[in-house]
């Protein structure tokens, strides 16, 4: 039990002011929880708060249904310095939805607002620029990708997953921490190996507490609190170098806007190709009808 209490004390007393170069303009640590719907993101947040606070509440709504529950970016306070954000998951992994995932990760979409899967580049641009007026650049972002071992990743989708994790690193400057939920259901080793093959080197297996089963278990509490403690070590390591939070936010903005613009350009090129094919087919049909019958 002594280690449990030490973990709690370290987490509750954590301050960015105690980092090597002070807080450098950062006000809090933002644990950005992301992934596909229905993989246990909300239950993971509830479990973290339970292990730290000692009382179970369904802070983040978690339901066992296709598509998950979260449609907004919802914040949950762990301490005065640490905030967890339950980001909306994308169900299909198409480019537009992954673009919104990246915009959430970059903290360019407002917290507590609905996240819309929008294919309109101008509308996406306007939303991001409107949020940028708040000059919210004081969050140290840690990306946490949550995935259930129940959901085997098809081989044809692994390159997409790998690209998402790679871009999450580009956006935040930190290699995403992978949390594998439902570890006792079978398939843990296979899923871990899959993420290792995708170049993930920080992988944690955690069994969530749920509304149906939240009897305190020493082992569960220990692994969750140990995980949070390791995250803070990652933050300390990242703060070892001199940083500029405003410049980093500007870099994230450039990346996201460039990504969304590339998608829009590709969409326009595809529309042009389809129109050209349509005209070509119409021309062939016209020539065929005008051809004399011998």
- Considering the chain, what is the average pLDDT of its residues? 87
Question: N- to C-terminal Cα distance for the chain?
Answer: 96
Predicted confidence at residue 60, as pLDDT, reads 65
Predicted confidence at residue 65, as pLDDT, reads 47
Indicate the pLDDT class of residue 291, thresholds 50, 70 and 90.
low
Task: Give 184's contacts (C-beta < 8 A, 6+ positions apart).
Answer: 207
Indicate the pLDDT class of residue 61, thresholds 50, 70 and 90.
low
Residue keyed to tokens 């969304």: 260
Q: Which domains does the chain have, with CATH numbers?
A: 2-290 (3.40.50.300)
**CA–CA separation, 174 and 177 (whole Å):** 8
Q: Which two tokens stand for residue 50?
A: 């339970």
Q: Is the pTM of this model over 0.85?
A: yes
Higher per-residue confidence, 289 vs 207: 207
Residue keyed to tokens 């992934």: 35
Q: What's the pLDDT tens digit per position in 209-245?
A: 998 988 999 999 999 999 999 999 999 999 999 999 9
> Of 211, 194, 187, whose CA–CA distance to 155 is shortest?
194
């Amino acid at each position: 039990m002594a280690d449990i209490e030490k973990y709690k004390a370290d987490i509750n007393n954590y301050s960015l002011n105690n980092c090597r170069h002070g807080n450098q303009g950062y006000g809090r640590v933002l644990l950005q929880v992301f992934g596909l719907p229905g993989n246990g993101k909300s239950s993971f947040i509830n479990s973290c708060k339970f292990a730290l606070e000692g009382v179970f509440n369904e802070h983040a709504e978690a339901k066992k249904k296709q598509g998950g529950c979260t449609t907004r970016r919802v914040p949950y306070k762990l301490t005065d310095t640490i905030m967890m954000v339950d980001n909306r998951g994308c169900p299909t992994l198409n480019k537009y939805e992954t673009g919104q995932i990246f915009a959430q990760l970059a903290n360019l979409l407002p917290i507590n607002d609905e996240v819309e899967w929008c294919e309109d580049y101008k509308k996406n641009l306007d939303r991001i620029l409107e949020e940028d007026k708040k000059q919210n650049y004081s969050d140290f972002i840690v990306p946490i990708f949550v995935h259930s071992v129940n959901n085997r990743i098809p081989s044809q989708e692994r390159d997409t997953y790998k690209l998402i994790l790679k871009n999450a690193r580009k956006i935040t400057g930190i290699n995403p921490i992978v949390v594998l939920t439902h570890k006792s259901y079978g398939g843990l080793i296979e899923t871990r190996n899959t993420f290792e093959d995708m170049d993930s080197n920080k992988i944690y297996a955690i069994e969530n507490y749920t509304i149906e089963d939240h009897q305190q278990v020493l082992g569960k509490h220990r692994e969750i609190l140990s995980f949070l403690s390791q995250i803070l070590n990652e933050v300390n390591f990242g703060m070892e170098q001199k940083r500029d939070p405003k410049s980093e936010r500007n870099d994230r903005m450039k990346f996201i806007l460039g990504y969304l613009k590339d998608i829009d350009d590709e969409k326009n090129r595809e529309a042009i190709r389809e129109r050209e094919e349509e005209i070509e087919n119409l021309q062939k049909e016209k020539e065929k009808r005008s051809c004399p019958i011998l």
